[in-house]
Chains A and B, each alone.
Chain A
C-alpha cells in the first residue's frame, strides 16, 4: 500500500468552495463535513488514575499544548465529554466506575488507552490479584498508546491518529496513519 501524499488529517476542509456572485457554494458530502467537525473539537474527560495522568497534564500545559488540536476544554462531567483518555491502571474496584462513566457519555464517544497499564496491565501483569489486565476488558478502545509513561509527543500522536480515524469514517483506505519510523523503500 503506497503512502498517500495527502494525509487526511491535514486537509483544511473536506470539500470544494465555489465562489459566486451572491456568496459561496460549498459542494461536499455531509458525512465528511460532520466527521471533520467532530474530530477537530473532541473534548476529553478528566480521568487519570496514576502516573500517566502526570504526562497527560504535561500534554495539556504550555509546552506540548493539546488545545492546538481542538482538545481545548477538559470537562469534568462525562455527559459533556467526547473522548475518555484512560491514563493509568484499572483495578477490580475501579472497573465498575469506568463502565459507568463510559455509559454516561453521549454518542459519539471515543476511548484512548494511554500507557502500558491501560493497554494490557503493563508492569502489573504477573502475580497481581487486583489489576484488570487491559482496559479493553471493560470498555471498547479505539487507540492504544505504548509507553510507561508515554511521552507527551506519543500521546499527541495518538490524538492525531484518533482524529484521522474519525475523518476516515470507517473506510480503511482513508485511514492513513503517518509512521515516522517506516520509510518506504524506493
Chain B
C-alpha cells in the first residue's frame, strides 16, 4: 500500500485513493500516477472484500447458494437471486407458474428503481451536491417498506427460490406500489430541476470520460455504461426471460459516451421501469406462486449459463454440475469487473477531479467485483 507512494523517476506523483474513502462505492484502492493534476495511469487494486464466494458455493446445496448472491451486488439483490433460480430451473427443466413470473419481474423492476435512486444520490454526493442524497433515500425507503412487507427483509431478500417465489405477495402490495408510483412520478421532474439542469453539474459531466463504442465492446462493458456509448446490450431485449417479451419498453441508447450520457441513460431507465411496473401491477394472474419441486435438488451432469440484466449490466451465472448435491464449479460473471477495466482508458489525460465524476457514473459496487 504505502510503499508505492512517492515520486517516481520521471517526476510524477503516485498517490493512493482508498481503500477507505468518503465515496460510497465500497473498498476500492486506486493507485494513480499524476503529472501535476493530470492523470497518467490508474491502477485498481482489488481484493479488499474478496470473500471467496465461488469456493464457498462448492459446498452449499442448490437451494442454499442463492442467498450468497444477494450479498454480492446488494443493490440488485433480487435480480441476482433471479439469475441463480433461473439457472437451477434450466438444469432441472421446471416450468414456473405465470403468477410467479409476474411477481418476479415486478420485484426486479422495483429493485432496479431502488438501485438507480441510490446511484443518483451517491453520484450527486460524489461531485459535491449533498442534498440529493437525502431525497434519494426518502424515496428508496418507500420501496424498502414495500419489499419488507412481502419479502421480509429490506436489503438482502432471498425471495426467489427454484420453482417460483417463496411466499405470495402481501395484500397491500399492489395498492402500496401504485401509491408509490404516483408519488415518485411527481419527484422525477424535481430531480431534473435539482441536478440534471444544473449548470455546475453539466460542466462537470459533459465531455468527461468518453468511451467509444468499439472500446466499450472490447472492454466487455455492459449495462448503462455501454448503452451510453451506443452498444445494444440490454439482455431483456436480446434474450428475453420470464415475461419481458410481453411488456412494452424501450432500450435507452445514447451516442455521446461521456459521463452526462451515462447519467441521462439511467434517468430514462427509471422512467422505463415505472412504465413496466404500471403495465404489470394490475394484471397479475391468479394461480400458484411456486411450482412443486423435490425437497433435495440435484442438477444433472452438464453446464448451464444464464444471463440477466441487473442495474449494472450483464450478470451471468455459470454452473458446472457433476450430478451431485452441490455444484462442482460456479462462476459469477460480474458486470462491474468489466466496467472497471475500462476506467484506466477513460480517465487517462483527464484531471483528478474528473476521475471522481467518472467513478460516480460507472456505478460500481465493489463486492460485486471482488466476489
Contact = CB atoms under 8 A, between A and B. Distances in A.
A contacts B directly (C-beta below 8 A): yes
B106 interface: no
Interface string A44-84: 00111111011101100111000000000000100000000
Contacts of B71: 50-51, 123
A124 B26 CA distance: 18
Interface in A117-163: 123-124, 126-131, 148-149, 151
Most buried by B among A101, A130, A151: A130
A54 B155 contact: yes
Contacts of B67: 123
A93 B133 contact: no
A16 B42 CA distance: 60
B302 interface: no
Interface stretch (B52-60, B161-169, B336-344): B52-60
Contacts of A149: 154-156
A46 B22 contact: yes
B75 interface: yes
Where chain A touches its partner, the secondary structure class is loop
Contacts, number: 101
Given A62-B137, A149-B155, A126 B59 contact: yes
Given A49-B27, A49-B48, A57-B24, A94 B134 contact: no
Nearest to A46: B22
Which of B21, B56, B133, B138: most chain A Cβ within 10 A? B56
A62 B132 CA distance: 11
Interface in B45-80: 47-53, 55-56, 58-59, 67-68, 71, 74-75
Contact of B55 (A47, A89, A97, A128): A128
A8 interface: no
Contact of A128 (B27, B56, B133, B366): B56
Interface residues of A, number: 34
B56 A127 contact: yes
B155 A131 contact: no
Nearest to B27: A49
A131 B74 CA distance: 18
Interface string A81-97: 00000001101011011
Nearest to B57: A127
A54 B47 contact: no
Q: For B1, B20, B154, which residue has the most chain A Cβ atoms within 10 angstroms? A: B20
Contact of B74 (A51, A96, A127): A51
Interface residues of B, number: 37
A97 B19 contact: yes
B327 to A, nearest CB: 13
B50 A93 contact: yes
B367 interface: yes
A127 B118 contact: no
Given A53-B24, A97-B20, A151-B154, A58 B137 contact: yes
A50 B20 contact: no
Contacts of B51: 89, 91, 124, 128, 130-131
Given A57-B24, A58-B141, A131 B367 contact: no
Contacts of B47: 91, 93
Nearest to A148: B156
Contacts of A96: 1
A68 B133 CA distance: 18
A48 B24 contact: yes
A130 B22 contact: no
A126 to B, nearest CB: 7
Interface of B: 1, 19-22, 24, 26-27, 47-53, 55-56, 58-59, 67-68, 71, 74-75, 118, 133-134, 137-138, 140-141, 144, 154-156, 366-367
6 contacts: A49-B27, A49-B49, A58-B140, A58-B154, A61-B141, A63-B141
Interface of A: 46-51, 53-55, 57-58, 61-63, 76, 88-89, 91, 93-94, 96-97, 101, 123-124, 126-131, 148-149, 151
Given A48-B26, A49-B49, A130-B50, 6 more contacts: A48-B24, A53-B24, A54-B75, A89-B51, A94-B48, A129-B55
What 9 pairs across the A-B complex have the smallest Cβ distances? Answer: A61-B137, A51-B74, A76-B22, A128-B52, A94-B48, A50-B367, A127-B59, A62-B134, A63-B141
